[in-house]
Amino acid sequence: MNKLMGFQSNLFILISCLALALGFGVEINDNLYLFYIALGFIVLLGVPHGSLDVLFASQTYQLGNITHWMKFIAYYVLASLAVILVWLIVPNFFFIAFLILSALHFSDDLNLIDSKVLKFGYGASIITFPSLFFSTELIQLYGMIINVEIATTIVKACQLISLPAGLLIIVQLFKEQIDIRTKLESLCVCALFLLLTPILSFGVYFCVMHSARHLIRSRFFLRKFTRQAFLNALILPTIAVVLIGALIWWVGSTKTLEAELIRIIFIGLAALTVPHAWVLQKSNFQTWSITYNSKDSQ
């Protein structure tokens, strides 16, 4: 494992332990300041990893002129708008589909060898584990986005799915092909989502594991770009997303601030995740990551 990945892994394990020690038993919904801080970190540290899609697209599609760039941006925006449209028309279907897509997307975080079953078990644990001990909080959270009755049904389904997902996590721990560091990372992720309130656990995982690891891998995958181009791609689209989100909130409904923020962030992440996953798939980034991880683990 290279130095950057090793540092990120150590940092994630350390912050996970600190979060578990300091955040266990804390009800984040009762502390608005902590609630806003967690959401702020999700936006400011989580969104930038998707901003690099412009570099992935440039490298994959050889976008050499303004016409090619305009086409890519148009497709990207249309895909995001299509996601929002689906949510407006069939919010319940959209929500379930997004949870499944998220599990698949998160499953590539760790070096879990080339096993789709084990990877999906890890991704599924992120989505389902909070339902075991924080079902009330999760229903309340989902109820800000969809109908409360449907949210309750989804949480109950997650509780059932968490059992086979947990068994797959146990299998991972006994796989000799999976290195000890990966097993520790997996245990930290499971502990976060089992023992901390959902927003806090997701904030730590999304910022310090998923986004940070993607940024580091991307820097090695996108070697042809300068450091300045990398930084520009991180900063400028992130500012645009934050401004658009602020505008939507300003002209939005009169719901409570907490509910409105959850809706904007959730729908925004969903609208960006679909084209983001599409760009990564077309760039063969996941296939490269498997090879890169295998070399790192040797």
Pair of tokens at residue 9: 């892994």
pLDDT for residue 298: 47
Q: For 160-193, write each residue's pLDDT tens digit.
A: 999 999 999 999 888 888 889 999 999 999 999 9
The answer to whether position 81 is within a domain reads yes
The answer to whether position 14 is within a domain reads yes
Instruction: Measure the CA angle with vertex 182, ends 180 and 184; round to 5°.
Output: 70
The answer to whether position 157 is within a domain reads yes
Specify the number of domains making up the chain: 1
Checking 44-47 for CB contacts under 8 A at 24+ apart, the result is 44/238, 44/242, 45/206, 45/207, 45/211, 45/212, 46/206, 46/207, 46/210, 46/211, 46/269, 47/238, 47/241, 47/242, 47/272
Q: For 227-250, write each residue's pLDDT tens digit.
A: 888 877 777 766 766 676 666 656
Residue 37 · residue 19 · CB < 8 Å: no
The DSSP result for the chain, as a single string, is: --HHHHHHHHHHHHHHHHHHHHHTT--GGG-HHHHHHHHHHIIIIITHHHHTHHHHHHHHHT--SHHHHHHHHHHHHHHHHHHHHHHHH-HHHHHHHHHHHHHHHHTTSS--TT-HHHHHHHHHHHHHTHHHH-HHHHHHHHTTTS-HHHHHHHHHHHHHHHHHHHHHHHHHHT-TTS-HHHHHHHHHHHHHHHHS-HHHHHHHIIIIIIIHHHHHHHHHHTTTS-HHHHHHHHHHHHHHHHHHHHHHHHTS--S-HHHHHHHHHHHHHHHHHHHHHHHHHHTTHHHHHHHHHHHHH-
Which of 26-35, 36-45, 109-118, 266-275 bottoms out in mean pLDDT, i.e. has the lowest?
26-35
Q: How many residues does this entry show for the chain? A: 298
The answer to whether position 26 is within a domain reads no
pLDDT for residue 156: 96
The answer to whether position 291 is within a domain reads yes
Does this model's pTM top 0.85? My answer is: no
Pair of tokens at residue 139: 């229903």
* Spatial CA neighbour of 206 closest among 42, 50, 24: 42
* Spatial CA neighbour of 103 closest among 87, 125, 84: 125
Q: Which domain holds residue 109?
A: 3-18+31-297
The answer to whether position 256 is within a domain reads yes
The answer to whether position 212 is within a domain reads yes
Q: For 211-228, write each residue's pLDDT tens digit.
A: 889 888 888 888 888 888
The answer to whether position 23 is within a domain reads no
